[in-house]
Amino acid sequence: MLSKSVEQALNNQIRIEAESSQIYLSMACWAEIQGLEGVARFMYAQSDEERVHMLKLIKFVNERGGHAHITELNAPKTTFNTFQQLFSELYKHELFVSQSINELVHITLSEKDYATHNFLQWYVAEQIEEEAQAKTILDKINLIGDDKGGLYLFDRDIQQITVTSQILPGAN
């Protein structure tokens, strides 16, 4: 059984994951209209992955005697000055999500909720991957600078980055 404070913190994380999905969806739309097909595909896949993260949390809350809440979301930014800015914001967002997950883990430890703590270890590991991937992409973009040829190659090459698809909740 979840304590009210852990349930509330998990519901907050559900909202963050939903907003993350929307942020990446908005980034995909912007990239697509800029002609950045590879970046758009990457962002669509990221959006899907974030939705899966949200669903895993929802299932966990409901299965542990809590009530997952679906709430209103903040509208994401819809335009970016450059693709560098887009990926810089992606990286900053991943750092924010990691901080949020870490706070959630801290709450579970202070509440001695070891079942939820154990469940959240998957998210901790996932965020390590997400941050590393975003940082690597940002580093490559900073190397490209304003070179149009480099941007073309980057857009093509980012399609090679496979977003790890996660097992859907209830499928295991």
Task: Output the domain CATH number for residue 57.
Answer: 1.20.1260.10
Query: Residue 169 falls within a domain, yes or no?
Result: no
Torsion angles phi and psi, residue 112, rounded to 5: 55, 40
Q: What's the token pair of residue 85? A: 């800015």
Give dist(CA 88, CA 149) in Å, integer: 20
- Residue 167 counted as domain residue: no
Q: Are 11 and 58 in contact (CB under 8 A)?
A: no
- In 3D space, the residue among 165, 155, 167 whose CA is nearest the CA of residue 38 turns out to be 155
Task: Going residue by residue through the chain, which has 172 residues, state the pLDDT in tens, using 9 for 90 and above.
Answer: 999 999 999 999 999 999 999 999 999 999 999 999 999 999 999 999 999 999 999 999 999 999 999 999 999 999 999 989 999 999 999 999 999 999 999 999 999 999 999 999 999 999 999 999 999 999 999 888 888 888 888 988 887 775 443 434 444 3
The whole-angstrom separation of Cα 141 and Cα 137 is: 6
- pLDDT for the residue numbered 132: 93
Give pLDDT, residue 34: 95
Instruction: Tell me the whole-structure pTM to 2 decimals.
Output: 0.89
Q: Is residue 166 part of a domain?
A: no
Q: Is residue 71 part of a domain?
A: yes
The verdict on residue 43 lying in a domain is yes
- The rounded distance, in Å, linking the Cα atoms of 52 and 50 is 5
* Count of domains observed in the chain: 1
pLDDT at 163: 46
Residue 172 domain flag: no
Angle between helices 4-33 and 83-110 (to 10 degrees): 170
Find tokens 């209830």 and name the residue. Answer: 170
- Specify if 171 maps to a domain: no
Residue ranges making up the domain that contains 30: 4-160
Binding residues for Fe cation: 17, 50, 53, 94, 127
In a domain, 170, yes or no: no
Q: Which residues fall in the annotated binding site?
A: 17, 50, 53, 94, 127
How far is residue 95's CA from residue 172's CA, in Å, rounded to a whole number? 29
Alpha-carbon dihedral angle through residues 92, 98, 100, 103, given to the nearest 10 degrees: -140
Q: What local confidence, expressed as pLDDT, does residue 162 receive?
A: 54
Given this model, what pLDDT does residue 53 score?
97
Structure-token match 């000055």, residue found: 81
Q: Are 95 and 153 in contact (CB under 8 A)?
A: no
Q: What pLDDT, on a 0 to 100 scale, did the predictor assign at position 69?
A: 97
